[in-house]
Amino acid sequence: MRTKEQIDGILAALEREYPMADCTLTERDAWRLLVQVRLAAQCTDARVNLVTPALFARFPTVEAMAAADIGEVEELIRSCGFYHGKARDLVWQAQRITEVYGGKVPDNMDDLLTLPGVGRKSANLILGDVFHQPGAVVVDTHCIRLSNRLGLVDNDKDPVRIEKALRAVLPPEESSDFCHRMVLFGRDRCTARKANCDGCPLRADCDFGKAQSKKA
């Protein structure tokens, strides 16, 4: 595991690389971002950002989505893939928000997890980006890969364990931004296919990068 000094170094290097740690999905309203997050499963954020303007023009509120015909939603989100399950979740999710939570997206993990199509990753994103709650850790595929390469976890692929491990070592007020930066870094440089270690700003604190240096 990394020392506090090493973790601080990783945080600082990522912040220098990506000063603006914004979610690449465009919506900031709680319900609309929740919709985008569901659509982004096995789909790019860029595609979701293209699809949702028409979706929200047709169903501008959570109440409108709760009354929507699932088949119509399917046609509007078809290009995001897995549109049958996603459309069903969006409508059922909206129905639960209106019927149980008075039309407001819940602001706590337990209630968010009762919504169809919402897991811990999605819930943490909403808690961090919308409700600005400290300690929100969004564990996606980039976060899993990079946490292991950087030695923040020890050969662990379980998202819940990684979430717990990162929450234990990250400053709570920086955890959400850290996760966004991990996504950007994972897309730009340390990809699943190839870790571009040459010139990497995290190499000094990266177990994987050091191992690559020894092989060279």
Q: What is the pLDDT of residues 89-139, one digit of tens each?
A: 999 999 999 999 999 999 999 999 999 999 999 999 999 999 999 999 999
Question: Is 199 a residue whose pLDDT tops 80?
Answer: yes
Answer whether 68's CB lies under 8 Å from 59's CB.
yes
Separation CA 150–CA 197 (nearest Å): 12
Phi, psi of 122 (to 5 degrees): -65, -45
**CA–CA separation, 128 vs 12, rounded Å?**
20
Phi, psi (rounded to 5 degrees) for 190: -95, 70
pLDDT at 216 over 70: no
Whether pTM > 0.85 for this model: the answer is yes
Q: At what angle do helices 30-39 and 120-129 cross, to 10 degrees?
A: 150
Residue 47: Cβ within 10 Å count:
15
Q: CATH 1.10.340.30 in the chain: give the residue spans.
A: 30-129
Start-end of CATH 1.10.1670.10 domains in the chain: 4-21+136-210
In CATH terms, the fold of domain 4-21+136-210 is Endonuclease Iii, domain 2 (1.10.1670)
- pLDDT score at 95: 98
> Could you tell me the two tokens for 23?
């979610």
DSSP 79: G
Q: Number of helices (H) and strands (E), helices first, in the chain?
A: 12, 0
Rounded to an integer, what distance in angstroms lies between the CA atom of residue 72 and that of residue 87?
Answer: 9
Kindly tell me the sign of the dihedral angle through the C-alpha atoms of 42, 47, 48, 49: positive
Confidence of residue 215 (pLDDT cuts 50, 70, 90): low
Q: Which CATH architecture has domain 30-129?
A: Orthogonal Bundle (1.10)
Residue 145: the pLDDT is: 96
pLDDT reported for residue 212: 75
